[in-house]
Amino acid sequence: MSDTGAEVTRVQLRHGLRIATLLVAMVTVFGPGLTNLLSNLDRYQSPLAQLAAFAVLGAVLAGEAALLVRGRSWGRLRRPAIAMVLIVSALSYVTLPDGRTSTSVDWIFGAANWVGVVVLLDRPLRTSASFLLAHELIALLHLLLLDDPTRGDMARFATGSVSVFGLPLCVAVMASVMRGLSAAAATSRREIEQVRIAEAVAAESHGRRQQRFAELSATTIPLLEGLADGSLRPEDPAVQRRCAIEAARMRRLFAEADDVANPLLHELRHCIDVADRKGVVVELDTRGQWPEPPVAVRRDLTEAVIIVLATAVSRARVTVMGSAELVSVNVVADCRELTMPSPVTPGVEVEALNSDDSVWMEARWQPAS
């Protein structure tokens, strides 16, 4: 089953449980609750108070039905609704005949509990349990303070509490378990999605590296073969220059896989390190801030720098300047005249000026607006 299908199923299950709980509450309130109320109406101290309590419970159930139809929850109205249920429970017990707690005359004992659970069904289990305890406590206080109960009265109350407290609590437990399973499933789905994304990124990065290795092999392998068969001499300055260029390209390739804040500077430092190893003193200066260039753009911006640094005799200065509209990498070095490679990526421009004993080169990139 797809993630979307599983989520739809969970929503439908929660909605179905909410409907079932509402139906149980309505059957309880409008069935035995209303029957007991009407059949004992003349026995109450204030029949009007009992009818008002019943009307409030009915209104709460009607509100739940309306919310279900609209696909909404109680939200900010939940607390006032629960407060009204508890208030009318207390009102009903105040006008209840003495000695009738948890009997058929006490119609609200087995009705208000379900109404409260209906309102609190999508809340944590402790909330529903607290309401049921409060409902039990109201009935118990009436029994203890006003009825002067016998052992039989207490036994009747305890027996009735098994269903009045236990059955709604079981429904609340079921709703809590479903919420927990839904939350666990959502967490697992997010983790699986993150793993899939990480695997896709890793596969894409691996593919890019494989492509770059293939590109480098076109220039690196002939150099290594020439050094191996003796056709190229390590003491030849041209061969040393080629080795420095390929070494810098390899260092740049490895640096592309690093997770850093400024990839362009990070890759430039790796390129400069190769020049440092062959005795060239390189200064690196940065000015401004710029958006992160794509990998292909960074290769074009650093390629000309690699060639200049590989040819430099003793010193070089690399300056990176950037803004939201332009990224510029320029290098000045004491080397002979060079031919700069043409950029591969559209939007990158390379310009070079040669003098007798130095070269100035600039590579520019304008981010797309």
| pLDDT one-digit tens code per residue, 58-74 | 999 999 999 999 989 89
Is the separation of the CB atoms in 43 and 97 below 8 Å? yes
Q: Domain check: are 48 and 118 in the same one?
A: yes
Residue 216 reports pLDDT greater than 70: no
**pLDDT band, very low/low/confident/very high, at 147 (cuts 50, 70, 90):** low
Q: Domain check: are 181 and 273 in the same one?
A: no
Q: Domain check: are 103 and 243 in the same one?
A: no
Give the model confidence (pLDDT) of 153-168 as tens digits: 888 888 888 888 988 9
Token digits for 162? 């098994």
Q: Which residues contact 164 (CB under 8 A, 6 or more apart)?
A: 102, 109, 110, 113, 135, 136
Q: Domain check: are 183 and 246 in the same one?
A: no
Q: Domain check: are 96 and 44 in the same one?
A: yes
- What pLDDT, on the 0 to 100 scale, is given for residue 88? 94
Alpha helices (H) in the chain, listed in sequence order: 3-28, 34-39, 47-70, 78-94, 112-120, 125-146, 151-229, 237-255, 263-277, 295-311
- What pLDDT, on the 0 to 100 scale, is given for residue 90? 92
**What is the arithmetic mean of pLDDT over 273-298?**
89
Q: Domain check: are 66 and 140 in the same one?
A: yes
**pLDDT band, very low/low/confident/very high, at 87 (cuts 50, 70, 90):** very high
Residue 99 reports pLDDT greater than 80: no
152 or 54: which leads in pLDDT: 54
- Is 167 among the domain residues? yes
- Is 39 among the domain residues? yes
**What is the arithmetic mean of pLDDT over 40-44?**
90
Q: Output the domain CATH number for residue 289.
A: 3.30.565.10
Give the model confidence (pLDDT) of 303-335 as tens digits: 888 988 888 889 999 999 999 889 999 999 998
- Is 319 among the domain residues? yes
* The last residue of a domain, from among 191, 225, 244: 191
Q: Domain check: are 316 and 252 in the same one?
A: yes
What is the chain's mean pLDDT, rounded? 86
In angstroms, the CA 66 to CA 73 distance is 10
Q: Domain check: are 251 and 335 in the same one?
A: yes
- Is 208 among the domain residues? no
Q: Domain check: are 154 and 257 in the same one?
A: no
**pLDDT band, very low/low/confident/very high, at 369 (cuts 50, 70, 90):** low
Q: Domain check: are 167 and 250 in the same one?
A: no
- What pLDDT, on the 0 to 100 scale, is given for residue 102? 79
Q: Which of 200-209, 240-249, 351-360 bottoms out in mean pLDDT, i.e. has the lowest?
A: 200-209
Give the residue numbers spanning the domain of 78. 3-191
- Is 223 among the domain residues? no
Q: Enumerate the β-bridge partners of residue 354.
A: 359
Give first-to-last CA distance, the chain, whole Å: 42
Residue 368 reports pLDDT greater than 80: no
In angstroms, the CA 331 to CA 319 distance is 6
In angstroms, the CA 118 to CA 55 distance is 16
**What is the arithmetic mean of pLDDT over 26-51?**
92
- What pLDDT, on the 0 to 100 scale, is given for residue 84? 95
Q: How many structural domains are present in the chain?
A: 2
- Is 225 among the domain residues? no
Q: Domain check: are 172 and 36 in the same one?
A: yes
- What pLDDT, on the 0 to 100 scale, is given for residue 4? 59
- Is 252 among the domain residues? yes
56 or 238: which leads in pLDDT: 56
Q: By percentage, how much of the chain surpasses pLDDT 90?
A: 35
- What pLDDT, on the 0 to 100 scale, is given for residue 28? 93
Q: Domain check: are 39 and 129 in the same one?
A: yes
- The angle, 0 to 180 degrees and rounded to 10, between the axes of the packed helices 112-120 and 3-28 is 160
